[in-house]
Amino acid sequence: MNDSYKKLAKPYEIWLYILALFPSLIMLVLVFLDTEGINFTDASFTFGNFSQLTESSTIIAFGNSLKFALLSTVLSAILGYFVAYRLFRSKFKNKFLILTILILPMWSNILLRIEALGNVMQPNNIITDLLSKIGIHVAIDIKGSSLAVLIGLVFTYLPFMILPIYTALEKIEPSLEEASLDLGATQLKTFWKVIFPLSTKGIVTGSIMVFLPCLSGFAIPEILGSGNIVLIGNVIDQFFRNMNYNIGALLALFIMILILGAIFLVQKVDKEGETLL
Partner 1 sequence: MEQKHYEVATLKEYGYKDYHILQTIFKIFGRILVAFIVMMLYFSIFIIFLQSINSSKSVTHFEHFTLKWYLEMFDNRQMRLAIQHTLIISASATLISTVLGTIIAVGINSLEKKKRQRILLLNNIPLLNADIVTGISLMLVFSCLLPIFPYLFGWKTLLIAHMFFTLPYVILSVLPKLREIDPNLLDAALDLGVKPRRALFKVIVPAVKAGIFSGALLAFTMSFDDFVVSYYTTGNGFDNLSIWIYGSIGRNSLTPAVYSFNTMITIITVLFLLTVHGFQTRRMKKNGKM
Partner 2 sequence: MQKVIIELQDIVKKYDNQVIVDHLNLTIYENEFLTLLGPSGCGKTTTLRMIAGFEKPDEGNVIINGKIFNDLPAYARPINTVFQKYALFPHLNVLDNVAFGLRNRSFKYLLSFFGENNLKEEIEKEKIEKGISIEKAKKINSLELRKKINEKIIQAAKESIELVKLSGFEKRKIDQMSGGQQQRIALARAIVNRPQILLLDEPLSALDLKLRENMQYELKEIQRKLGITFIFVTHDQQEAMTMSDRIVVMKDGMIQQLGTPKNIYNEPNNRFVATFIGESNIIRGSYIEKNKISFMGTVFDCMGYTFKDQESVDIVIRPEDFDIIPAENAKLTGIVTSCIFRGVYYEICADVHGMEFVIHAYEEIEVGKEIGLKVDPYEISLMKVTDNE
Residues binding partner 2 (CB under 8 A):
173, 175-176, 178-187, 189-190, 193-194, 197-198
DSSP 8-state symbol, 232: H
Distances in Å between the alpha carbon of 242 and those of 37, 107, 145, 179?
9, 32, 27, 62
The reply on whether position 114 binds partner 1 by CB under 8 A is: yes
31 binds partner 1 (CB under 8 A): no
Q: Smallest distance, Å, CB 183 to partner 2? A: 4
Among 25, 50, 29, 51, residue whose Cα is nearest residue 40? 29
The DSSP 8-state label assigned to residue 194 in this structure reads I
Q: Which of 48-56, 102-110, 138-146, 190-198 is the region at the interface with partner 1 (rule: CB under 8 A)? A: 102-110
Task: Please give the Cα distance from 93 to 91 (Å, whole number).
Answer: 6
**Partner interacting with residue 70 (select from partner 1, partner 2, none; CB below 5-8 Å by kind):** none
Which is nearer to partner 1, 45 or 107 (by Cβ)? 107
- Angle 267-269-271 from CA coordinates, rounded to 5°: 45
Decide whether 55 or 173 has the Cβ nearer to partner 2. 173
Q: Is 189 in the site for partner 1 (CB under 8 A)?
A: no
Q: Considering the rule CB under 8 A, would residue 36 count as an interface residue with partner 1?
A: no
Q: Does residue 86 bind partner 1 (CB under 8 A)?
A: yes
Closest approach of partner 1 to the CB of residue 158, in Å: 7
* Burial environment of residue 90 by CB neighbours within 10 A (0 to 12, 13 to 18, 19 or more): exposed
